[in-house]
Structures are given as C-alpha cells and as structure tokens.
Amino acid sequence: MARFTIATWNVNSIRVRLSQVLDWLKTNQPDILALQETKVIDASFPWQDFQKIGYQAYYAGQKTYNGVAFLSKNPLGKITTDLPNLQDLQRRILGATYKDIYILNLYVPNGERVGSEKYFYKLDWLKKIRDYLEQSLYQYPKLIVLGDFNIAPTDDDVYDPTQWCEKILCSTTEREQLKGILDLGFCDSFRLFSQELNSFSWWDYRKNGFVYNRGLRIDLILISKALQSYCNNCKIDKTPRSLDRPSDHAPVVCLFN
C-alpha cells in the first residue's frame, strides 16, 4: 500500500477556524482531512482557499449546526451524504472512496443527556450506521470510519471516570453501540499503538479544560481488519488546541504504508 495519511478534526466552524486549518494542512500535508461541525451551508464553504494550497473540498453543510467535509489532495469518488437507511436533514455524514478504500466521515449526535430525546436519536442513529457498515464491508473490505463519535470508548479515555460515570458521552449504552460497530471487524486505530496516559481529543472550553487536561477522547479513526496490517501510527495533535481561539477538539492523524 502506498503511503497514505488521513486525519479527522472537529473544527467548530470552518469560517472561524479557516486560517488554522490551512496552516495545519500546510504543515502536516495529510492526504485526506475529514472535518466536522463546519457550520456553513454549501454555498459558503471556502473551497477556493483549500484549492489554492492543493486540496479539493467535498462538503455537506447546513445553516448554524453540524456540517461535514473532506479536504483531499487527490480526487475522491462516490460522494454520499445520505445513507439508504438514514435520511436526515442534519448534515452529519459524508462518505467517499479513495482508490479501493471507502471512507465514512461522521459527526455523531451529541445526545445532550442520558435519557433525553436527543439521546435516543443518537442511539437510533448509531444503530443505523452499524447496519450500513455491516452491508458496506462486503463491497469495501478496506473501510475507514472516522470523525467525532461523541463517545469515549472506555474509562481510559476520560479524565475523571467517576465524575463522568453513566453521563452523556460515557454511558454504558453508548459504549455498547460503539462496540457493536467495532465488533463488525473494526479497531480503534489509536489503541493499536502505545500512547501516553490521559490522551484526549476534546477539552471543554469552560473552566480551562485544556490547561488542566480535563478532556475526553471522542474523536476516533476506526479501521477495518483489511487495513490493520498497513496502519503504522495514530496520534492526537494537541498543538492546534493551544492556539489563540481554538476549536475545542484536536486533530487525530492516522498513517498507513
């Protein structure tokens, strides 16, 4: 397999974060960057800025909320924004092919609070994603599912598991839904490699969460079995989180070769 890097980053508004994303792309040169929470309608997506630095943009946005995108050095194929079993006005899904790899960029619903209406929407949404992935694996054994999952897979991905016990992003039911996806034949690429304790990808803006490393690891790159032997590294890049006016999420990068 030719060397290939893919990354995911919830940017919390592409318009506010545009210069940071451009700088990060110039420095890191991933083949593909998947974005979440772009928060722009398609007509306002700043695709020209990315084209100038050698990236083609694919996007599915809406006003104010959600919005997903791919920035890619090479053209992507088979762009999908809705799944056969999941048609939603909320723009949270973007699928594309790159060579023989299928890539699914997800902005999983937050869920607000365990037991809330949004929580059940999240669980139902994840079940539909699972069913779609189960089918897709037949056609695309090489499958990458990445994005903001809004689930911390285990207590090792939580700065204070006691405080977060059975809270949104950490509840047993959410974790079981994620496990249901992993059990199809995916792994959490971050855990294929040794990592520092307390590695997180999201820190609350409030109460200096980043300064005290009070975070969660909710941004994931899941890879199917057919890709595992090619995966050489996965890491979280905390540097953009320390910039002025940052996103509350850090990029996660996965390398194949």
Partner DNA sequence: ATGGTAGTAGCACTA
Residues lying near DNA in the complex (CB under 7 A) are found at: 12-13, 15-16, 39, 63-65, 109-110, 112, 118, 150, 205-207, 245
CB 152 within 8 A of CB 220: no
| Minimum gap (Å) between residue 196 Cβ and DNA | 24
Q: Count the residues in the chain.
A: 257
Is 237 marked within a binding site? Answer: no
| Minimum gap (Å) between residue 39 Cβ and DNA | 4
CB 35 within 8 A of CB 9: yes
Cα 12 to Cα 126: distance, rounded to the nearest angstrom: 21
Active site residues: 107, 148, 249
Beta partners for residue 102, in sequence order: 97, 143
| Minimum gap (Å) between residue 150 Cβ and DNA | 7
Is 248 marked within a binding site? Answer: yes
CB 39 within 8 A of CB 14: yes
- Output 52 or 206, the one with its CB closest to DNA: 206
- Output 1 or 16, the one with its CB closest to DNA: 16
- Output 16 or 165, the one with its CB closest to DNA: 16
Residues annotated as binding site for Mg(2+)?
Answer: 10, 37, 148, 150, 248-249
